[in-house]
Amino acid sequence: MGGPKVFARVQGSAFATHIADTLHTLGWPALWVLRTQSQIPILADIIHYLPDVCINTNLDGDMLSSIQAALSAPQALFQATYCIWPVDFPLIRPETLQQLANELGSCDGAVPVNLNCTGHPLIVKRHTLCRWISSMPHDGLRQAMFEQPACIRQVPVLDPGPFQNLNTPDDCLAACPTPRE
């Protein structure tokens, strides 16, 4: 993508802008996991406010190490529920996140599903996430979820955003609406 995905662009805006706007619409707090301190002012400039951040210092780290960094951040210590939102899924609608949160109920987590395909983000209760992370899975969060089953509600959604993994510039072009003639 030519740089950190959080700063990549789709539909005329940075991934971070799409995510920040969605969270702002819902009034949900955000804790951004970045790689370096130098990314903070860039992110702040893009989203137009100084965000809460933590730094994932594991240079070889993946999403799992980012979650571990976030869980240990002071801003996250007292949250009961988390929205694990990979940055490469920036086009999720606010109503989809709200629907996931509303459907959580007594389950440990909720994920969007469409045509038997699960997507992102994962809404999960802290105790479950901590249990998964404490197992130190080598193959990521999916392995922990498989090895330590929990009640994860699959919530049917029509929003294509949870299923649009934007990993390449071509993915971003494909996600842009085509102009009408």
> DSSP letters along 133-144, please?
HHT--TT-HHHH
Res. 181: pLDDT tops 70 = no
Predicted pLDDT of residue 137:
64
Going along the chain, which residue ranges are E strands? 9-10, 13-14, 31-34, 52-55, 81-84, 109-114, 117-118, 122-125, 152-156
Q: What is the pLDDT of residues 99-152, one digit of tens each?
A: 999 999 999 999 999 998 999 999 999 989 888 888 766 777 778 888 888 999
Are 161 and 93 spatial neighbours (Cβ–Cβ below 8 Å)? yes
Annotate 25-42 with DSSP letters as a single string.
HHT---EEEES-TTHHHH
Residue 155, φ and ψ in degrees, nearest 5: -105, 115
Q: What is the pLDDT of residue 130?
A: 87
Q: Are the beta carbons of 140 and 96 closer than 8 angstroms?
A: no
pLDDT at position 180 = 52
Band (pLDDT 50/70/90 cuts) for residue 53 is very high
In the chain, where are the structural domains located?
5-173
Closest CA to 133 of 74, 78, 82: 82
149-172 pLDDT, tens per residue? Answer: 899 999 999 999 999 999 999 999
Res. 17: pLDDT tops 60: yes
So what's the pLDDT on residue 123?
95
Segment 62-99, tens digit of pLDDT: 788 888 889 888 888 778 899 999 999 999 999 999 99
- Say whether domain 5-173 belongs to CATH 3.40.50.10890: no
